[in-house]
Amino acid sequence: MLESELSEAKTSATSARATRSDGVEARARLLHAALRLFAEKGFANTSTRELAAAAGVNIAAISYYFGDKAGLYRAAYTEPMGSCNDLIVCNVGEVSLEQALRLTLTQIVEPMKLGDLVQLCTRLHFREMLEPTGLWAEEIDNGIRPAQVALVLVLCQHLGLSDPDDDVHRLAFSIVGLAIHLFVGRDIVQALQPQLLANPEAIDAYTERLLGYALAMVAGEKARRQPSLGQELRS
């Protein structure tokens, strides 16, 4: 009797694990199919029937795992690379300029390690900009804006400013632009110098160089604001 019960329990547990495994796989297939189709066709022009067929799942799986098509779109938009809403905002006064810049650049560049998947993610983000559903505006308000404000405050602290002026904002955008260019110009980099993004180690090395460039930009801005310092740097 006990052996029978143990056997049934083992079978049940095995079945439960298989179900969970199948569920994880089905959700992942849906997410990948959605990422590709939404990037190619946009939210409005992609049907739930197409999504289910591309993922090889029952159409009911969309509502089961994501609630509805909008929920699946949000997941495809945010999960693979992470949303800007998930950026860690450095606390002014608790980190050095180098630490703040390293954190900023690393968070932006890290998703490049996803390989070809990052290209689909980038295309979907571009599609969202062209055909907004509201996620891009939400990302700007809840993720990009706080991170940018924090970076500007760190720069002000380093430059000895009580309030940011337009040039500080220009500097902050330019620093972030160093990293953003890797996404926008990924195809060009891979066509001309593919070894620069060939593996995680190469991407880490690229990030480290970006940090050096960003520090040089800040030093240049500081010298511009203090002519005597600029003269010393040039001599």
The average pLDDT across 44-73 equals 96
Cβ 178 vs Cβ 105: under 8 Å: yes
Residue 42 has φ and ψ, to the nearest 5°, of: 85, 170
Residue 17 scores a pLDDT above 90: no
The answer to whether 223 touches 159, Cβ cutoff 8 Å, is no
Output the domain CATH number for residue 32.
1.10.10.60
What gap in Å lies between CA 148 and CA 109, rounded to an integer?
A: 16
Number of folded domains in the chain?
A: 2
pLDDT, tens digit (0-9, with 9 covering 90-100), for 93-135: 678 999 999 999 999 999 999 888 888 999 999 999 999 999 9
Q: How many CA atoms lie within 13 A of 12 on its CB side?
A: 6
Confidence of residue 235 (pLDDT cuts 50, 70, 90): low
Q: What is the DSSP letter of 86?
A: G
Whether residues 88 and 105 fall in one domain: yes
pLDDT value at residue 227 = 72
Q: Which two tokens stand for residue 62?
A: 């969309």
Shared domain check, 224 and 165? yes
Q: How many CB atoms lie within 10 A of CB 103?
A: 19
